[in-house]
Amino acid sequence: MFSSSSVAGKSILGRIASVSSTLSRRGESSDASYRIASACFRRSFASKTSALSLNAKKRKGKKITMVTAYDFPSAAHVARAGIDMILVGDSVAMVHLGHETTQNVSIDTMIHHCQSVKRGLELGGSGSMLVGDMPFGSYEYENTDIALQNAYRFVKEAGCDAVKLEGGSVHRAKTAQKIVEGGGKFPCRLCFMYPPLCSMHVI
């Protein structure tokens, strides 16, 4: 559910240790400590934005918030605002790297920036869904396995909860199907999401 080496993980483990220590001084049993620890785990999981929580907001007519962040400091600030979704956009090519278009940014660069944003969100204890923008040249191939492999990189290497790609062609729909079969979902602008904690759907 979280990495014990992450900032968020260390924070939760620290709280559990503190409560367990207090309970021990009061003569509480180890079972009580375990119940407290379990509650902390459940609370941490419940605060994470998921496909289910976004769909629930949509059904209730509530607004879904989403902003772009490119680096650690911007993500740390956004984390405190309670935003539902954070997008690390390929526009980082122009905004941060000085390129004229988004076509110059590589998948390795995008993963680098996603990792930075992920650390900022962890510092702020955010439950925002992290969406990585798959750059030009990472999903347009006839062989849709390439798109799926690159989507997995965003999840495994960058810690993203979702990946986003754009297009409206028949082939893009096939790419979408491939990612969905690998465990994906996508809202508007053909945004394909890969939550590692659950199977993906189309929203």
Q: What digits encode the pLDDT tens for the residues 46-65?
A: 578 888 889 899 999 999 99
Question: Are residues 40 and 59 both part of a single domain?
Answer: no
pLDDT for res 13: 53
Strands, sheet with 85-88, edge to edge from the N-terminal-most edge strand: 66-68, 85-88, 129-133, 162-164
Specify the length of the chain in residues. 203
Give the residue from 28, 46, 64 where a domain finishes.
Answer: 46
Domains of the chain: total: 2
Phi, psi of 185 (to 5 degrees): -145, 160
pLDDT for res 60: 95
Q: Check which CATH number belongs to the domain holding 175 and give it.
A: 3.20.20.60
Whether 149 is in a domain gets the answer yes
Strand partners, 130: 86
Cβ contact 114:133 at 8 Å: no
Question: Are residues 55 and 35 both part of a single domain?
Answer: no
Question: Are residues 69 and 36 both part of a single domain?
Answer: no
Question: Are residues 74 and 171 both part of a single domain?
Answer: yes
What value does the mean pLDDT take over residues 34-38? 50
Question: Are residues 14 and 112 both part of a single domain?
Answer: no
Question: Are residues 28 and 85 both part of a single domain?
Answer: no
Query: Residue 113: which domain range?
Result: 48-190
82 confidence band (pLDDT: 50, 70, 90): confident
Whether 80 is in a domain gets the answer yes
Q: What digits encode the pLDDT tens for the residues 87-135?
A: 999 999 999 999 999 999 999 999 999 999 999 999 888 889 999 999 9
Sequential DSSP letters for 105-149: --HHHHHHHHHHHHHHHHHTT--PEEEEEPPTTSS-SSSHHHHHH
- Tell me if residue 66 falls in helix, strand or coil: strand
Whether 196 is in a domain gets the answer no
Strand (E) or helix (H) holding 164? strand 162-164
Question: Are residues 97 and 121 both part of a single domain?
Answer: yes
Whether 110 is in a domain gets the answer yes
Cβ contact 82:48 at 8 Å: no
The answer, yes or no, to whether residue 166 has pLDDT greater than 70, is yes
Question: Are residues 32 and 54 both part of a single domain?
Answer: no
Question: Are residues 91 and 144 both part of a single domain?
Answer: yes
Question: Are residues 29 and 109 both part of a single domain?
Answer: no
Question: Are residues 5 and 56 both part of a single domain?
Answer: no
Question: Are residues 37 and 74 both part of a single domain?
Answer: no
Name the average pLDDT for the chain: 77
Whether 66 is in a domain gets the answer yes
The answer, yes or no, to whether residue 41 has pLDDT greater than 60, is no
- Using a pLDDT cut of 70, give the percent of the chain over it: 67
